[in-house]
Structure 1
Amino acid sequence: MRVVVVGAGPAGLVATKTLLQSRSEDFPFDPILLEQEGDIGGTFRYRSYENATLVSSKQLTSFSDFRLPLDHPDHLTLEQYVDYLRAYCKHFGITNRIHLEHKVVNISRNPDGGHDVSFVTKLPSGDWDLVPQTIHAAYVALCTGLHVIPSFPTIPGIEHVLNRDNHASGPVPAAYHSAEYKSRAELAGRRVMILGTGETGMDLAYEAAKAGAKEVVLCTRSGFLSFPKALNDFEILGVPFKSDRAGVPIDTLITNLAETAYVHPWVAAARIRWFVSDFVLRGVLWFLTGTQAGCNQWVGELEPERLGRAYVFLNKSHKAMPYINRPYKSRPAILEYMSKYIDSPEDMPPHTNFAVDLAPFPTHFLPNGRAVFPSLKRKDAIRMAKRDVRPDLVIYATGYTQEFSFLDKAGGYATPGEADVRNIVKEGDESVGFIGFVRPGVGAIPPIAEMQSMFWISLLKGQVRKPLPPPHYHLLVKETARIKYGVDHGAYMSTLARDIGAAPGLYELWRAHGTHVLVCYIFGAAFTTFYRLLGPYRSPMAPEIVKTEIWDTITRRGWAGNLIMGVIPMVFYLCLNGLVLCVEVILTLGGALQTR
């Protein structure tokens, strides 16, 4: 059963490894991975830049059965993560399955069944061989990633932005996509405008400030929700509450019981737990930082109807916020004494008046290079309305788009947006799997790709429960939204786990692995390792990983953190789910009596 995997990023690597480990007499999977670049790693290797680190923690991002030592930093650099992927390939013996500089140019239906995958190879000259080769495959896993082809919004007059040919690092273009950015040297001494306030845009604003840019203007379409990737230090009534390490990664703080496990379908469908947690969180944020827009975020607020985990991708690149806040932060001294958030020392700006200016997206540029901003009632728009902004460098941090030109149009292939079975396959065409094409609001794509791989393989083997219950894991978006592939990490992971019989029951888990593992499962986040404790993908390594590394993430919260973020929410949600269950039972009994 030949399986062609396209793309050697994390999704392609974990799909290949999972296929190999899932081989059986009835399903002798024979995966081969084709990658057009000269190395593995995908976006983490080829769209990386100086000082870039993962905003998801190593605890969540690492694959279920190949972990990093506890003494490694919580958030890896991109180079460290690519090294981790190389070690993963070597450890599981998949390196000989990977064919680099093999570019897929066409995938078509074979009349006798399966797919014909045509590819070209790179010649020693660096050119692509014009004569394609073809492999016949029973199945195809598309793992080409969300962040490959840059997206460029149209801004009239951008050609008027002047180029500086005398820059210290050599000729630097006046406008380019963040995918091309590599180092701080490109930003020093420039008047920089960054379009987009995603995590890359925030990173670049910070890098420009640190590089000594003359001016930094960060443009946002409609705002953002900012949180640090790790909770740092707070002061309450002058008493500091400091973490022993460099903060607690926020993606390890969400608990499992009654948040993702044992959630009544009615509660899941209504997203009640998301809205309740947002309500509580806004109150905590106001008390600790003085603002509800985000963690110590004083500008760039989202509209109230989009503020919360049900709607947006959390922006965990928080380093630029001290610069952005500077013109806007206003809090009475008495409240600042009562409680305040302390930025990481390395993220604090020097004691000057330099600030990163937040602004709306420019509507156009004038012939003299001046940016024209729209008239809005937002704080940043009012402040920037009369500013004369003439950047000599514009960076598009505007995200990516996906193209699948290699899929034969006559074959009727779906795209990831049309994959209606758990966002992985199109119903009726299960032989083509889309792995790694959803993005979590808080979380990471690589562990999701691992869970998707297990689901897809179970689907091919006929081991997925039928019928599938409705999906209640998508982030809520408008019909006109550009990005519709957002999911809640925990809800999506636990849904796939239940679909394939990998989500453990509490009593079953306690009998198999004891109290320690059970407590970890209850208090831990939706780590993929939890779904390998029992079920079809059971791993002998999982219990030890849970009792060491995952236990460490729980104990680092401290007793107060586990009480506030663990016990109290769990008791509330358990009561809520129990109440809804009672209502369901009463309604069911009432209906049964009426039919007699």
Structure 2
Amino acid sequence: MKVAIIGAGPAGLVACKTLLQFATQEFPFDPIIFEQEGDLGGTFRYRSYENSQLVSSKQLTSFSDFRLPLDHPDHLWLNDYVDYLRAYARKFNLESRIKYYHRVVRISRDVSNPKGGHLVSYVKKNLNTGEWDSDPTVLHASHIALCTGLHVIPSIPSIPGIENVLNRPPRKGVDGTMITSAVYHSSKHKKRSELRGRRVMILGTGETGTDLAYESAKAGAEEAVLCTKRGFLSIPKALNDFEVFGVPFKAPRPLPIDSLITNLAETAYVHPWVAHSHIRWFISDFVLKRVLWFLTGTQAGCNQWVGELEPDRLGRAYVFLNKSQKAMPYINRPYRKRSAWMDKLAKYIDPPEDMPPQTDFTVDLAPFPVKFDEDGRAVFPDLKRKDAIRMKNRDFKPDTVIFATGYTQDFSLFDPEGKYPTAGEADIRNVLKSGDETVAFIGFVRPGVGAIPPIAEMQSFFWVSFLKGHIKRPLSLPHYHLLMKENARIKYGVDHGAYMSTLAKDIGAAPGLWELFREHGLHILICYCFGAAFTTFYRLIGPYRSSQAPKIVKTELWDTIVRRGFWGNLIMGLIPMVFYLIINGLAFVAEIAWVATGRPFKRT
């Protein structure tokens, strides 16, 4: 069973490893990875920039059976993560499966083969000339795993007059150097020094955009303007220090935010009515807003005083959290107004390394410009937002415009006559299209808070189980999608824990509490209940059981719980867990009463 995997990023590597590890005589998976670049890593290798760091923790991002040492930092630099992926490929002998400098140009149906399958046409790069073959080579594959990911093709919106920025003559900077204009997508940005002395405009307030705003401040940019369309929700990637009634709460090591959500009754053992109502998300959003107001004085985000979302989009149920918070002290400067007595009551403390130097440098927030005039001056819309009011009469002529506007997906390598699906049409757990299960989309969902690589691992398990006929149909209704509006540009958002738990139940890897206690004891049971949706939990039992999983749970994953301390586990663990257990218990009682009246109850 030749499986053509497109892309040697994290999704492609874990898909290959899963197929190899769980191949059988009946299902002799024979994967091969096509990678057009000369190294593995995908976006993490080729679309990264200096000083870029993962915003998801190593505990969550690492694959289930290949972990990083406990003394490694919680959040890896991107070059370190690429080294981790190289080590992963070596550990599981994947390197011989990767065909570097092999670009797939077309995938079509093999209509001449009575068993079906696909014809994968690819070209190789001549390393002497740098040219690609003119005539493609064709490989027959029984299955296709598209693992090119969400972040490959830059999305660049059209802004009238952007060419006027480039047409402006060079100007002399404050240090006397001549500065020429530049317009590019964030995927082309590489070094902090590229921003020194410049008037920088960054379009987009995702994690990359706010990262580049911070880089502008640290580089010594002359000015920096960060543009947002509809706002963002800023939450730190790690829980930092704060004070309550003058008592400091200092964690020896800041706790990654993605390891705080507990399993029991929130992602595991959730009644279908509770799951489909999304009441868990709404309640946690309600509580979080009040906690943020108490600690920081604002509900818009964690110590976020401008760029707030519309009220009907403010919460984890609706958006991807922006966990790159380093620029917030620079952005907040013109807006933060909190009374001294409130700061005495409670105070959030920015990490020392993220605090601005003792200068008056500010990253100005602004709406997206409607155009650039003939002189290359940004023209902002007349809105009632406070950032728009502040920038209304601002005379800003950027030297550098960076589109941090995300990416789009292109499925044009599929032959149109083959009527192939796209990732958005994958109606079976966002992995497969009904009736076309030989084509899998691995790594094409993005969690609101979480990481794509562990999701890709669970999706690979799901696909293998599906191909082997181990998935029970019909599947339960999906309840893990973020609540995006119909006109939203991005519609592939999921709740990390809900999605992982759903896949685990589908493949028979979601552990029962009694089963977990009987096989692994109280230590692992408690860790599973209080821990986040780590992939390793779903390898304690079931078809993908790993002998390493118990040790990983008892050490590394247990450490994420111990680090919360007594009060952290009480407030962020036990209290919400008991509360949600009560809600699920009430739903269970209501189900019994419903069925007792003779009405049918469907869990699917």
Q: 2:188 aligns with which of 174, 177, 180?
A: 180
Asked if the contact 2:442–2:460 (Cα under 8 Å) also holds between the matched residues in 1, the reply is yes
Tell me the residue number matched to 1:372.
379
State the 1:122 CA deviation: 0.4
1:325-382 per-residue CA deviation (whole Å, 9 max, x = no partner) reads 0000000000011111110111100122211000000011111111111111111111
Residue 119 (structure 1) aligned with residue 127 (structure 2): no
State the 1:121 CA deviation: 0.4
| Identical positions, percent | 71
Residue 578 (structure 1) aligned with residue 581 (structure 2): no
Mapping of residues 400-411 of structure 1, within 5 Å: 400-411=407-418
Structure 1 509/430 Cα, relative in aligned 2: closer, same or farther at 3 Å?
same
Tell me the residue number matched to 1:32.
32
Residue 72 (structure 1) aligned with residue 72 (structure 2): yes
Tell me the residue number matched to 1:144.
148
Residue 191 (structure 1) aligned with residue 194 (structure 2): no
Tell me the residue number matched to 2:277.
270
Structure 1 352/88 Cα, relative in aligned 2: closer, same or farther at 3 Å?
same
1:436-485 per-residue CA deviation (whole Å, 9 max, x = no partner) reads 00000000000000000000111111111211010000001111110000
TM-score by length of 2: 0.97
Measured in 1, the distance between the counterparts of 2:257 and 2:239 equals 6
Structure 1 205/512 Cα, relative in aligned 2: closer, same or farther at 3 Å?
same
Tell me the residue number matched to 1:83.
83
Tell me the residue number matched to 1:286.
293
Tell me the residue number matched to 2:247.
239
Q: Which amino acid aligns with 2:78?
A: L
Measured in 1, the distance between the counterparts of 2:181 and 2:343 equals 44
Structure 1 315/417 Cα, relative in aligned 2: closer, same or farther at 3 Å?
same
Structure 1 592/449 Cα, relative in aligned 2: closer, same or farther at 3 Å?
closer
TM-score by length of 1: 0.98
Structure 1 334/531 Cα, relative in aligned 2: closer, same or farther at 3 Å?
same
1:376-428 per-residue CA deviation (whole Å, 9 max, x = no partner) reads 11111111111111111100000001112210011010000111111101100
Mapping of residues 155-166 of structure 1, within 5 Å: 155-161=159-165, 162=168, 164=170
Asked if the contact 1:106–1:408 (Cα under 8 Å) also holds between the matched residues in 2, the reply is yes
Asked if the contact 2:179–2:198 (Cα under 8 Å) also holds between the matched residues in 1, the reply is no
Structure 1 165/333 Cα, relative in aligned 2: closer, same or farther at 3 Å?
closer
Structure 1 266/105 Cα, relative in aligned 2: closer, same or farther at 3 Å?
same
Tell me the SS of whatever aligns to 2:286.
Answer: helix
Tell me the residue number matched to 1:462.
469
Let me know the Cα RMSD of the aligned residues: 1.3
Q: 1:527 aligns with which of 525, 534, 540?
A: 534
Choose 569-578 or 228-237, whichever is displaced more: 228-237
Q: Which amino acid aligns with 1:244?
A: P
Q: Which amino acid aligns with 1:97?
A: R
Tell me the residue number matched to 1:318.
325
Measured in 2, the distance between the counterparts of 1:165 and 1:552 equals 54
Measured in 2, the distance between the counterparts of 1:367 and 1:336 equals 47
Q: 2:567 aligns with which of 560, 566, 578?
A: 560
Structure 1 412/244 Cα, relative in aligned 2: closer, same or farther at 3 Å?
same
1:285-331 per-residue CA deviation (whole Å, 9 max, x = no partner) reads 11111111100000000001000111000000000000000000000
Measured in 1, the distance between the counterparts of 2:574 and 2:568 equals 9
1:8-59 per-residue CA deviation (whole Å, 9 max, x = no partner) reads 0000000000000011111010000110000000000001111000000000
Q: Which amino acid aligns with 1:109?
A: R
Measured in 2, the distance between the counterparts of 1:206 and 1:475 equals 28
Asked if the contact 2:181–2:399 (Cα under 8 Å) also holds between the matched residues in 1, the reply is no
Asked if the contact 1:163–1:174 (Cα under 8 Å) also holds between the matched residues in 2, the reply is no
Asked if the contact 2:540–2:549 (Cα under 8 Å) also holds between the matched residues in 1, the reply is yes
Q: Which amino acid aligns with 1:116?
A: L
Asked if the contact 2:186–2:404 (Cα under 8 Å) also holds between the matched residues in 1, the reply is yes
Measured in 2, the distance between the counterparts of 1:4 and 1:242 equals 49
Structure 1 169/582 Cα, relative in aligned 2: closer, same or farther at 3 Å?
farther
Mapping of residues 95-110 of structure 1, within 5 Å: 95-110=95-110
State the 1:264 CA deviation: 0.5
Measured in 1, the distance between the counterparts of 2:337 and 2:438 equals 57
1:214-249 per-residue CA deviation (whole Å, 9 max, x = no partner) reads 10000000000001101110012222111102x110
Tell me the residue number matched to 1:219.
227
Measured in 2, the distance between the counterparts of 1:87 and 1:440 equals 25
State the 1:582 CA deviation: 0.5
Q: Which amino acid aligns with 1:524?
A: G
Tell me the SS of whatever aligns to 1:591.
Answer: coil
Tell me the SS of whatever aligns to 1:274.
Answer: helix
Measured in 2, the distance between the counterparts of 1:163 and 1:532 equals 61
Measured in 2, the distance between the counterparts of 1:196 and 1:151 equals 11
Measured in 1, the distance between the counterparts of 2:178 and 2:247 equals 50
Residue 414 (structure 1) aligned with residue 414 (structure 2): no
Tell me the residue number matched to 1:153.
157
Q: Which amino acid aligns with 2:446?
A: R
Q: Which runs of 5+ in 2 are unaligned?
A: none
Residue 205 (structure 1) aligned with residue 213 (structure 2): yes
Q: Which amino acid aligns with 1:127?
A: E
Measured in 1, the distance between the counterparts of 2:2 and 2:401 equals 46
Tell me the residue number matched to 1:51.
51
Q: Which runs of 5+ in 1 are unaligned?
A: none
State the 1:169 CA deviation: 9.9
Measured in 2, the distance between the counterparts of 1:241 and 1:374 equals 43
Measured in 2, the distance between the counterparts of 1:108 and 1:169 equals 54
1:149-198 per-residue CA deviation (whole Å, 9 max, x = no partner) reads 10111100111113648889998652100000001111000000000000
Structure 1 390/430 Cα, relative in aligned 2: closer, same or farther at 3 Å?
same
Structure 1 23/83 Cα, relative in aligned 2: closer, same or farther at 3 Å?
same
State the 1:146 CA deviation: 0.5
- How many residues are aligned here? 592
